[in-house]
Amino acid sequence: MRAALAQAKKGLGKTSPNPAVGAVLVNSNRIIGRGYHRQAGGDHAEVDCLRKLAGPVPHSAILYVTLEPCSTRGRTAPCANYIIERDVRSVVIGTIDPNPQHRGRAVKLLRAGSVDVTTGILEQDCARLNEAFNKWIVTGEPFVIAKCGMSLDGHLTRPPGESQWLTSESARAHAHKLRAVVDAIIVGAETIRQDNPRLTVRSGARRVQPLRVILTKSGRLPRTAKVFCNSNRDRTLIWRNKTLRSVVRDLGRRKITSVLIEGGGDVLSQALDQRLVDKVQIYIAPIFTGGSVLAFGGKGAPSTERSIRLESMSYKRIGEDICVIGYSKPANNSTSA
């Protein structure tokens, strides 16, 4: 299953609105076939894997797949049927399809076709791989990641006239990788005015650039900004006088499964106040700056009990900076300090 996960990761950022899925075919403890889903509309991982095999599938072979095979016809034929047609006798599934309309259906089809099915192998790893798809397919809303680089006292900027960067070049390179796996990037108008970012993926293979989403109250944006002038200008959308929640919901209706909020402080604060954040990825620099631009300001929680709490925390040192990653707990799991 770990080998299948390695295959699935090759499709991250390229398959939306479909999930990233990997598959391997094993016979006599040796991998004889590998496959993954490359893009929406293309072969699914199971088909990609089995079609590479010359000749019939050995009866003793086991197909490992990270996500329950599809059971209905969409852009492609049902993978469950193809598995049965290829006379695969045994299938091991990492996690069940989270789509309520399809959940468990392929397992029943395969077993009805005399296929031995095992489920729940490395289930958490397989589910976490598609955390954005899992939320979107159930709720219709994208998975929201809040990312920023801030000082130790929680600010986003240096004093006026100095470099805009707080974190190191290595930390910024690490953070930049997030853009390659999301469907859209959200920033506020002030970020466009002050930083003039391109908001593009500039390393690694990607099928299309993420949408650049700009929130503005006045509508006054510099027409010479990089997001309006480069080759990806048609991937830029502007929302004026709209709440962040309404924008996120609209993006979900556009089949955007994942959103990265890059700033500035006003947009990050809105995300916190409106409880839209599913995951945080924060880079903390060992510096105190003071100033008025807080990373997460806003109204604040009405009580400690109702504060947003994080789980599944991880911490990584990158140069002198610390990267903190965590997931928002469901509200009904919060407890007082």
pLDDT of residue 233: 85
pLDDT at 330: 76
Tokens of 93: 């599934």
Look up the pTM and report it.
Answer: 0.91
Which pLDDT does position 205 carry in this prediction? 55
In the prediction, which pLDDT does 77 show? 84
**CB under 8 A, 24+ apart: contacts of 167-173:** 167/283, 167/284, 167/285, 167/321, 168/285, 168/318, 168/319, 168/320, 168/321, 170/318, 170/319, 170/321, 171/283, 171/285, 171/318, 171/319, 171/321, 171/323, 172/283
Query: Rounded to whole angstroms, how far apart are CA atoms 217 and 188?
Result: 9
User: Which of the residues in the chain have pLDDT under 50?
Assistant: 333-337
Tally the residues of the chain.
337
How much is the pLDDT for 174? 94
CB-side neighbour CA atoms (13 Å) of 307: 10
Alpha-carbon distance of 5 to 23, in angstroms, equals 8
In the prediction, which pLDDT does 335 show? 40
Q: Which helix (H) or strand (E) holds 285?
A: strand 279-285
Tell me, what's the pLDDT at 161? 64
Active-site residue (options: 46, 68, 141, 262):
46
Residue 131 known to be catalytic: no
Element (H, E) at 175: helix 169-176
Say what the pLDDT of residue 243 is. 95
Question: Of 154, 166, 129, 169, whose CA–CA distance to 272 is shortest?
Answer: 154
